Amino acid sequence: MTVAPATLLEQRPGAEAQIGGLIFAMLLIDPEAHIAEVNQATEDLLGRSAKHLVGQRVGAALDLQDPRVLAHLEERGEALVARDIALIVGENEKRVNLTLSPLSGHSGWRVLTLSELGRNDAEEAGAGDLAGLGAPSILAHEIKNPLAAIRGAGQLVERKLEPQDRSLARMIVDEVDRIARLIDRMQQLGSTVVGPSAPCNLHEAIRSAIATVRAADRGTVEVVEEFDPSLPPVLANQDALLQVLINLISNACDAASAAAAPRVIVKTRFASGMMLSAIRLGTRVRLPIEIAVIDNGPGIDPALRDHVFEPFVTSKKSGQGLGLALVRKLVRDMAGRISHDRDERAALTQFRVHLPLAREGETR
C-alpha cells in the first residue's frame, strides 16, 4: 500500500519531536546570550536539567576551556565551528565538537550544538590507527625475514661463546623477538580485515579475561566483578572481545599496582538512558551494553590523556604504545565505542566499552 504524499506530510513529526530525537546536544541561544531552550541530549551531556539551564548565560552554563570560543558565544557573532575542545562537566573533562549557527530572519538568535568525540565522522575515520602509518604485509614480511636470520645467528653465536659472554648474544635474540612482536602488532593494527561478529556471553568473556590476567600477575591485584546478570548477549567477535578485555584489565592491574590497596573493578550495565550510537556501513547502531574497567591507580599522565588511543603513546618505560590503539580498532570493528575518564575526587580511572545487543540468530 502506497501512502499519499499529503498523508505523509500530515504524519511527519513536528520540529519539537525532531529536536528531541537528536543524539547530539542542541541549545537555543537568545540575542542576549541566554539559553532559551535545550533538548534531552543536552541534559544528558551536561548532567543538568532544562529547568536549571534555561535562563543562564551560555558562557556561564558551559565550562568550555577555550576562551576564544567563549568570547564568540557571548557576542552576536557569525557562524562558528570548533573541533576537539575541552568541556568540563563536574569533575570530568569531555572532548566535544561545537557549532554555532545564526537563525536567518531572527536577529541575534543562534543554535548551538555539542557532540562528544567518538560520535563523529572525523573520529570514526580513525586518525589514530596505523592504517595511514604504513604497515603493509609485504613490508612486514621483508623486515621479519632478515630478523629470523639475525635471531638464528645470535643463537649460534651464543652456543660458541664463553659462559660469561653469552648474555650479550642472548640480548640479541631477545631484542629480535621484541621487534618481531612489535611488527606483528603493527600488522594487526593496520589490517582492514574485520572478523565476523556473533552473539557472545559478555560475562563468560570477562571471567575468561580475568583468569588470564590473574594467572600472569599471580593475584597481586584484587579484581572485583560487579555484573548485571540480566544482560542479554552482545554482538561481538569472541576473540577480539577477549583480547580487548585482557588488554584493559591487564593495564588496569598494572596501574593499580602502585596503590596501597590495589583494586580493579569490572562492571557491566545496561545503559538505558544513553543514546550512544555508532555509524557502520551507513546504518546507525545502538550501543546500550556498557563494560567499565575501573582502577584506583594514579591515573594517566594529563599530557597523554587526549592521546591514549593513538599508536606509540605510552607512559610505560617498556611499553610499545600499541595496546590501546589496537583495543580501539578492535572495538570499532565490532561497531562499538571506547572512552576513558578520570574521577579525581574518587581517585579512579575508568575505561568504558559500549557494544551493541545481539538479536536472535544475528551474525555479521
Which residue matches cell numbers 594514579? 298
Residue 198 is placed in which grid cell?
A: 556473533
Give alpha helix (H) positions in the chain. 5-11, 15-20, 40-46, 50-53, 58-61, 67-74, 121-124, 137-160, 166-190, 202-217, 238-256, 323-333
Mean per-residue pLDDT, 163-168: 80
254-287: pLDDT as tens digits:
999 888 899 999 999 998 655 455 555 445 678 8
185-217: pLDDT as tens digits:
666 655 555 678 899 999 999 998 898 888 776
Rounded-to-integer distance, Cα 59 and Cα 34, Å = 9
Q: What pLDDT is attached to residue 53? A: 93
Mean per-residue pLDDT, 233-251: 91
Mean per-residue pLDDT, 20-36: 85
Q: What pLDDT is attached to residue 273? A: 53
Mean per-residue pLDDT, 135-151: 62
Q: Is the pLDDT of residue 76 over 60?
A: yes
Residue 188 is placed in which grid cell?
A: 594487526
Q: pTM of the prediction?
A: 0.54
Q: What is the mean pLDDT of the chain?
A: 78
Contacting residues for 159 by C-beta, under 8 A, at least 6 apart:
none
Instruction: Read off the pLDDT band of 360 (50, 70, 90).
Output: low
Position 55, amino acid:
G
Q: How far is CA 47 from the centre of its chain?
A: 20
Position 256, amino acid:
A
Q: What pLDDT is attached to residue 214? A: 84
Mean per-residue pLDDT, 131-159: 65
From 343, 276, 297, 302, select the one nearest 115 (Cα to Cα): 276
The answer to whether residues 210 and 268 touch, using CB atoms and an 8 Å cutoff, is: no
Q: Is the pLDDT of residue 329 over 50?
A: yes
Q: What pLDDT is attached to residue 189? A: 59
Q: What pLDDT is attached to residue 314? A: 63
Kindly give the pairing relationship between strand 277-280 and strand 283-286. antiparallel
The answer to whether residues 266 and 206 touch, using CB atoms and an 8 Å cutoff, is: yes
Task: Between 140 and 82, name the one with better pLDDT.
Answer: 82
Instruction: Read off the pLDDT band of 159 (50, 70, 90).
Output: confident
From 122, 121, 115, select the one nearest 85 (Cα to Cα): 115
Q: Is the pLDDT of residue 133 over 50?
A: no
Task: Between 2 and 77, name the one with better pLDDT.
Answer: 77
R_g over Cα of the chain: 25
Mean pLDDT lowest among 60-64, 83-87, 314-318: 314-318
Q: Is the pLDDT of residue 137 over 60?
A: no
Mean per-residue pLDDT, 108-137: 59
Q: What pLDDT is attached to residue 275? A: 47
Q: Is the pLDDT of residue 223 over 70?
A: yes
